[in-house]
A and B are shown apart, each in its own frame.
Chain A
């Protein structure tokens, strides 16, 4: 999977590495900005109040 992506990136190894880095950062950004904030309330790790529900 990652090898497949790597082979489809243009340029030499250095350019490929740079593009990969940018892709990784983009994925991390999307995760932190959109995916994790959405997923967090669905997971039972951070409920601090007492309630009767």
Chain B
């Protein structure tokens, strides 16, 4: 609507003085004035488009991603409910392997899917790394690093509040049969985006030297940019069996 009021003003101005006596003089300056006004309008247009792009990035992509993530999450839960009677089925990694609960981030559950490509992450989920370092999934029971990535802003912004995490905070990963309760033990607030060592099975930068069951959360930082990466490490504390009501572990209550 702002655009239409602009148009009103512009059409009013020339119509107030039609056939003005100074028209021969105006022809020369008129052409310049016309060029300047077109240029000005183009600048206004560019500004509006950039403003709309911000709205798109920070709001609209969240709407789309949350909708998609909810649908995919429901699908995973439906799968789990259906499989309950038929015993443990094959691990279905296509729709998602489980849900991440981080009370400190205060954003509910985050579906975890395979891969960290833009296509996966733009659906408002967290992805576990398959490249450059393959993440070790907690369900395998093997020691290793369960490395995840998610968006800081836009597309669900699932790790937006990663800076709210403190040492000792719980990070809980829910699968069909188990709750994996991790405790945050190291935080790296800023590192290069090429620092793939943070994903290694024994992340030395986190101050550990022995193999263990680690989890790594990565996202971009500072907010609204992709200048650096923010890393949070946790270590598995215990594994709780999921009961028939899916009662969450005390950390989530």
Contacts and interface: CB of A to CB of B under 8 A. Distances in A.
Interface stretch (B2-10, B71-79, B100-108, B233-241): B2-10
Interface in A5-51: 5-7, 13, 17, 20-21, 24, 28, 31-32, 36, 39-41, 44-51
Given A2-B6, A6-B10, A52-B196, A46 B129 contact: no
A48 B131 contact: no
A5 B7 contact: yes
A41 B132 contact: no
A45 B224 contact: yes
B159 A48 contact: yes
Contacts of A36: 52-53, 56-57
Contacts of A51: 131-132, 193-194, 196
A13 B194 CA distance: 58
Contacts, number: 103
Contacts of B11: 3, 6-7
A53 B92 CA distance: 30
B41 interface: yes
B56 A24 contact: no
Given A48-B150, A51-B193, A31 B7 contact: no
A52 to B, nearest CB: 5
8 contacts: A17-B4, A39-B53, A41-B118, A45-B153, A49-B116, A50-B192, A51-B194, A52-B194
Interface of A: 1-3, 5-7, 13, 17, 20-21, 24, 28, 31-32, 36, 39-41, 44-52
Given A46-B226, A50-B194, A50-B196, 20 more contacts: A1-B38, A2-B41, A3-B14, A13-B8, A31-B56, A32-B52, A39-B53, A40-B57, A44-B225, A46-B152, A46-B220, A47-B220, A48-B121, A48-B149, A48-B150, A48-B218, A49-B129, A50-B199, A51-B131, A51-B193
